Structure 1
């Protein structure tokens, strides 16, 4: 399998300011309501991401918790994290959100799942299930959450 097949991405323009959209992406407590990955259950409030090195905790639908280690961050524009089991090293996959302002009330949102560095063989079937369509579904749900009517 080539590395290109291990990076999937989707983009969509949303009729909302980048700053408004970013607040939803950077606040893990809101993510279970709009993420279409169907594996997030909850996240405690007060974990808003501010910098590379931040770690936020999510509860997944199995009841287990995941630590998400922020590895890329630009306020209002970019956030990426690598999930791991609590207290363990990340197995190497990455979720990224990029926001490109197209004007004061329009933003191009790109969501990427990169599993080129995935080292846990047990996670490969789940990684393969993440397609551009599933990523776009998350963007669509995020658009609805921020009030985009397009």
Structure 2
């Protein structure tokens, strides 16, 4: 599933916003992303960054995800696999879905952003209890609108 939108900011600015985990709650189109647990800028493939999340169907509503960078091509692409630490012992498991942003410059202060959510590697054992996609069709366009607004504000600073 993917969506594309134009952002009134340079490709470098949009990439910098995406590479900053502290912006992800503001970008999220569902309201599930709460705050970063790891705040370091995303700089390398294999880097893990954790996020505090909320979903009413989760036990007590709150949970954490661990994201692993699997695509990093500044300033053209960034992507991560989403997983968790089921035993709390540091051994991460990834569920087979990923997020990817592809950026293309449309001029000095215009960027075309494509957001792709791919769940094709989710095993049947996970699909038996999680519906995919786990959100409505408005999520990706909402996220891209939030990203475009944040990047435009950032570029004016």
TM (norm. structure 2) is 0.82
CA apart distance, 1:65: 1.2
User: Considering only aligned residues, what root-mean-square deviation do their CA atoms show, in Å?
Assistant: 1.6
The structure whose residues are more often helix, as a share, is 1
Q: Determine which of 34, 40, 47 is the counterpart of 1:47.
A: 40
Tell whether 2:105 aligns with 1:101. yes
In 1, Cα distance between equivalents of 2:122 and 2:31: 20
For the structure 1 residues 15 and 128, does the alpha-carbon distance in structure 2 shift closer, same or farther, using more than 3 Å as the test? same
Tell whether 2:53 aligns with 1:60. yes
Q: Which has the larger radius of gyration?
A: 2
User: May I ask how many residue pairs the two structures share in their alignment?
Assistant: 139
* 1:1-150 matches, cutoff 5 A: 8-44=1-37, 46-61=39-54, 62-86=61-85, 87-119=91-123, 120-121=126-127, 122-123=129-130, 125-131=131-137, 133-147=138-152
Task: Give the gaps of 5 or more residues in structure 2.
Answer: 55-60, 86-90
CA apart distance, 1:24: 1.1
